A and B are shown apart, each in its own frame.
Chain A
Amino acid sequence: AVTQGPADRARSSSLVIGLSSSATTLDPMNTTSVGTDLSVLSSVYSSLVIRQPDLRIGPSAAMSWERVAPTRWRFHLDPRARFADGSPLDADVVVWNIQRLVNKGNGLRMTSNFPDLKGAEKVDASTVDLLTSRPSPNLPDALSMLFLLSPQWTETHDPAAEAMGSGPYEITSYSPGGNIELRARPDYWGPKPAIGNVTFRVTPSQSAQVSGLLSGELDAVAGMDPQDLDRLRADRNIAVQQLDTTRMAFIKLNTLTGPMQDLRVRQAVNYAVDKRAIADSLLKGSVDESPGQLLTKDYTGYTPGLQPYQYDPQRARQLLAEAGYGPGKPLNVQLSLPSGQYVAAELVVQAVAQQLREVDVNVEIRSEPFAVYMQKYLKENAMPDMQYITQAWPTLSADGLYGLFVSSSPYAYWQDKTFTDAVTTARATEDVAGRDALYAVAARQAREQAPVLFLFPQPGIYATAKGLSWQARPDDWVRPADMAWTEGER
């Protein structure tokens, strides 16, 4: 094919990024998927604060911020910040955006990420206060996902189909489900991005991603399948970065109904699966097995020193026998997974199912569209006995991720007083050591009670054309503004 190769693109300062699925909307408040929608939109819109490549929170539209009261955060806006149409990004804009967000009637998806946010008050033209209903130390972390629209523009345009933001890029071409093209704004008020033209190309199929990289059609792809690692590493023109993501992969067990109510069964399935072997063969050793933890190391509040469930089918059989199952009376369970959503999930699930089958647990695998899967999970409260899921929390705090497991959470399917108490108390504890101690209690309890079948962090494999400098990150952001072509390569 007569496509431009990375070398040509480096010269012309353009870049092609492979997206595993198309953007579903251009409205930044109506999506929470970081890997696709928000990564694109973060180039077009700006947020008050931004999570930097080193995972720390840094300034963006807000130059600085402080907590003036337990439930009041004050943000000082950058006076230079302007939308592409020239209108300023001032306190009024922020107030309007926060109102748009917290109004439940708008039915925006982002709203649920801000359960504590009450509203905003203008202090002066470039200062604004955000109010929360209770002390919310992690608000800035959450705000790194909130992008700001222009109120006037939104009145006359459909933000789902068009975009006009205050970010470094503007969209030059978009159709739902199709490729997205960006161009650097010449009048951008912040630091100029290094790359002028960016294309997000939709390449859902794994093989298309790989062949695109190999042929030079794509310059950067995130979330590659570990199965392709060897192939990618072997190519001189491709650089591979590999790290654990902040997403933990596990198989959630429905402890509220069915056979997984029985602790012995939950522990048995944990013993029955050889996480090591799966990580080594299917994930090509790109990750380590989880030490019986719901968090990855990157979270504040992580408890070191826990031990994973060892692979011990004998033990598993014994536990199952105690629970009343065995070869004569095999345990039949359903295991669902969302199709095409998570890296290597299809393989991992099949491997798990086969290993469980060896201890006489018959697993029926149901692969479902993500929407259906989520509907069963959250809206109908009808999660099957087991379901493969990966979970992360954008603020990278134990509080957030553990919050998904407290008794009151619809995500939990687990009611454990010890765990819930520890997490709730920790939330109100300002002192770091005390909080970590509480989180350790929660972590041990979770390991012991096994509300999930612990697996491993989701592997993060990023492939880029040689010559593209970019620091891959464990959260899912892929921001072209962070990328640059280095001179002299190729």
Chain B
Amino acid sequence: MSTYLIRRVGLSVLAIWGALSVVFLILHASGDPALLMAPAGADPAQIAALSHALGYDRPLGVQYLAFFGDALRGQFPDSLQFQQPALEVVFQRLAATAVLAGAALGLAVLGALAIGFGTGARRVDGSHREWPMWLVYLLQAVPNFYIGVLLVWFFGVVLGWFPTSGATEPASVVLPAIALAAGVLPPLARVFRTSLRTELARPYSRTGTALGMGRGRVVRHAAYGSLLPTITVLGLEAGALLGGTVIVETVFSWPGVGQLAISALQNEDYPLVLADLTFLILVFVVINLIVDLAYGVLDPRVRHKG
């Protein structure tokens, strides 16, 4: 278990380092950020001075090291748009995204479990419902933003049931959460259903029946085994979820880190992009680390290894 843990943490650190390097390189391939920071009409000398003050005139390698030094200490230059420490800006937006992502994740997981049980576990008479899966296929085919647009149109405009923009009241979260959940639910539902079927088809489920367990009990035991692959997919989908927040938050003007990323990119707010992406990457990798560790806790075979 401990070597497993060390190995996992090591890989995560590696992934974070690599991903941040990529971000750093892409940003630096685009030229001198000082040009952006300087006020309009600044002459080249001023820009050079600013560039020097911020260290953008150092060799790339030095900047690279400095960047990691700063990133480790959570220090990023001030956001150009907001003129505040970039990481602070990100943190201020954090709660909104956490609420949205949490709500969406809850919705998606509940929906996926319901659909998975409904279609994955056949009843004793062999009948099973397929139609919820069609819903899943359909959801899977609908782009995030389109779901958002349709929800705004129908529930916001036509029916007027929910607010369609911003995070002003508890009901505001409903539509964006649905839009975001719609993207995450299909893979979860599918993997849960498939693995439930696989587990039910495995000999131990048959053993359960042979020992006199009822159908419900057999399914319950099988569901535990199906959770593991589902959690793995959940970890992978964390990426999709974070990516989804970018689009969904834009559609619904939800004041979270996703929308912040877009606006920072659009305004070429270089420090903010760095801070925001660093943060998102960190979250993604940590989620996956947690998933891996959850695996270690939930699966006795992993738990006892090494």
Chain A residues with a Cβ under 8 A of chain B? 1-3, 22, 24-25, 27, 30, 104, 107-109, 111-112, 158, 160-161, 175-179, 201-205, 207-208, 211-212, 214-215, 217, 339, 369-372, 374-375, 378-380, 410
Contacts and interface: CB of A to CB of B under 8 A. Distances in A.
A202 B82 CA distance: 15
A179 B171 contact: no
Main DSSP-derived SS at the A contact region: loop
Given A112-B41, A202-B255, A24 B81 contact: yes
B127 interface: no
B160 to A, nearest CB: 5
Contact of A27 (B83, B162, B171): B83
B38 interface: yes
Given A1-B169, A201-B166, A177 B41 contact: no
B152 A207 contact: yes
A202 B253 contact: yes
A217 B163 contact: yes
B84 A202 contact: no
Interface of B: 35-42, 46, 50, 79-84, 88-89, 92-93, 96, 152, 156-157, 160-169, 171, 251, 253, 255, 259-260, 263, 265-269
B131 to A, nearest CB: 32
Contacts, number: 127
Main DSSP-derived SS at the B contact region: loop
Contacts of A104: 46
Centre residue among A1, A2, A107, A211 by max chain B CB count within 10 A: A1
A372 B31 CA distance: 13
A369 B268 CA distance: 8
20 contacts: A25-B81, A25-B82, A25-B83, A112-B39, A160-B82, A175-B255, A176-B82, A178-B92, A178-B255, A179-B166, A201-B168, A208-B166, A211-B152, A214-B157, A215-B160, A217-B163, A370-B267, A372-B268, A375-B35, A379-B40
Contact of B165 (A107, A111, A205, A214): A205
A339 B250 CA distance: 14
B77 to A, nearest CB: 13
A302 to B, nearest CB: 27
Contacts of A27: 83
A374 B267 CA distance: 10
A380 B168 CA distance: 41
Given A339-B266, A378-B41, 16 more contacts: A3-B168, A109-B40, A160-B84, A175-B255, A176-B79, A176-B82, A177-B82, A177-B89, A177-B263, A179-B168, A208-B253, A211-B152, A212-B164, A371-B269, A380-B35, A410-B41
Nearest to B50: A107
Nearest to B172: A1
A369 B168 contact: no
B165 A112 contact: no
Contacts of B50: 107
A30 B267 contact: no
A458 to B, nearest CB: 21
Contacts of B162: 1
B171 A111 contact: no
Given A24-B82, A211-B157, A202 B169 contact: no
A158 B84 contact: yes
A156 to B, nearest CB: 16
Centre residue among B38, B50, B96, B157 by max chain A CB count within 10 A: B157
B218 to A, nearest CB: 45
B103 to A, nearest CB: 17
A191 B160 CA distance: 39
Contact of B166 (A112, A203, A378): A203
Contacts of B269: 371
Given A112-B41, A371-B36, A375-B36, A175 B93 contact: yes
B165 A379 contact: no
Contacts of A380: 35
A220 B168 CA distance: 16
B40 A378 contact: yes
B171 A112 contact: no
A1 B167 CA distance: 13
Nearest to A4: B169
A158 B171 CA distance: 33
Nearest to A104: B46
Nearest to A24: B81
A19 to B, nearest CB: 10
A393 to B, nearest CB: 15
Contact of A212 (B35, B79, B165): B165
Nearest to B160: A215
